[in-house]
């Protein structure tokens, strides 16, 4: 099988939510595996000297408008959460723990968390919200809560974030095929053209 599609995302990103729904279709059309790689976007912003889109006055207003427009275009519900951006570190730890070596499980839980945040507008930094999503998806809450506090899982998320930085990731969603990087939902058509043609 050819190179997989590395998909770098943070649960706090609305474009990540949209990208998570689109990337599997792109991958399926070209028989590629998707590697689901949650990381901490905040740490990357800090290193790059940037900040969340919505913090910029004009770019932020545009981004909110465009996120809603782009979600509608793809038939995805978008209920922008009142609290934004959200602290997603605990949810990311659960994804890494439950989907340790299981991409399908990472995908399943990521879409469940994304749906909670952007489909339903919940606050994923609230443990009661995480618990509800876990229990709805057959994840044992006592085990999940232990995993969130597990130093090994915490370290793993830090390492994954550092690995993303080392790969040049500066935003999300971010896709890499082989050594070819594609940033943003808007770049998925170019990524797909790349898969079709082998590059240009």
Q: What is the number of alpha carbons within 13 Å of residue 80 lying toward its C-beta?
A: 14
22, 108, 109, 124, 168 from 90: Cα distances, Å: 24, 16, 13, 8, 24
Beta strand extents in 5-158 (DSSP E only): 5-9, 34-38
Tell me, yes or no, if 12 is annotated catalytic.
no
The answer to whether 200 contacts a second copy (rule: CB under 8 A) is yes
Query: Based on CB atoms, which residue is closest to a second copy, 31 or 166?
Result: 166
Please identify which residue in the block is written with the tokens 């995805």.
76
Residue (of 40, 45, 33) closest to 96 by Cα position: 40
| Least Å from the CB of residue 8 to a second copy | 12
| Least Å from the CB of residue 171 to a second copy | 7
**Phi and psi angles of residue 148, each rounded to the nearest 5 degrees, phi first:** -60, -30
Of 59, 83, 100, 158, the residue at the interface with a second copy (CB under 8 A) is: 59
Query: Based on CB atoms, which residue is closest to a second copy, 49 or 138?
Result: 49
Residues 175 and 191: beta-carbon distance below 8 Å: yes
Alpha carbons 54 and 182: distance in angstroms, whole number: 21
Of 25, 48, 102, 143, the residue at the interface with a second copy (CB under 8 A) is: 48
Specify the DSSP element, H or E, that contains 68.
helix 57-73
The answer to whether 152 contacts a second copy (rule: CB under 8 A) is no
Of 83, 155, 168, 178, the residue at the interface with a second copy (CB under 8 A) is: 168
The answer to whether 57 contacts a second copy (rule: CB under 8 A) is yes
Among residues 12, 13, 110, 125, the one annotated as catalytic is: 13
Number of residues engaging a second copy in binding (CB under 8 A):
30
The answer to whether 178 contacts a second copy (rule: CB under 8 A) is no
Q: In what order do the strands lie in the sheet containing 5-9?
A: 34-38, 5-9, 174-177, 180-183
| Least Å from the CB of residue 199 to a second copy | 9
The answer to whether 100 contacts a second copy (rule: CB under 8 A) is no
| Least Å from the CB of residue 186 to a second copy | 4
Which residues are at the interface with a second copy (CB under 8 A)? 47-50, 56-59, 61-62, 65-66, 69-70, 72-73, 165, 168-171, 181, 183-184, 186-187, 189-190, 193, 200
Point out the residues that are catalytic: 13
């Amino acid at each position: 099988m050819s190179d997989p599609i590395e998909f770098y995302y943070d649960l706090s990103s609305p474009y990540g939510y949209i990208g998570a729904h689109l990337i599997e279709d792109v991958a399926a059309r070209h028989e590629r595996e998707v590697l689901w790689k949650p990381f901490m976007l905040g740490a990357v912003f800090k290193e790059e000297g940037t900040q969340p889109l919505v913090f910029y006055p004009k770019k932020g207003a545009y981004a909110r408008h465009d996120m809603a427009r782009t979600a509608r275009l793809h038939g995805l519900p978008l209920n922008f959460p009142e609290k934004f951006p959200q602290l997603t570190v605990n949810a990311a730890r659960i994804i890494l723990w439950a989907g340790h070596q299981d991409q399908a499980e990472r995908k399943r839980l990521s879409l469940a968390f994304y749906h909670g945040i952007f489909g339903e507008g919940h606050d994923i930094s609230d443990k009661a919200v995480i618990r509800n999503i876990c229990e709805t998806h057959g994840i044992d809450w006592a085990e999940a809560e232990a995993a969130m506090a597990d130093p090994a899982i915490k370290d793993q998320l830090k390492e994954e974030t550092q690995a993303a930085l080392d790969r040049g990731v500066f935003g999300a969603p971010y896709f890499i095929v082989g050594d070819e990087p594609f940033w943003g939902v808007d770049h998925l058509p170019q990524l797909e053209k790349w898969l079709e043609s082998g590059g240009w």
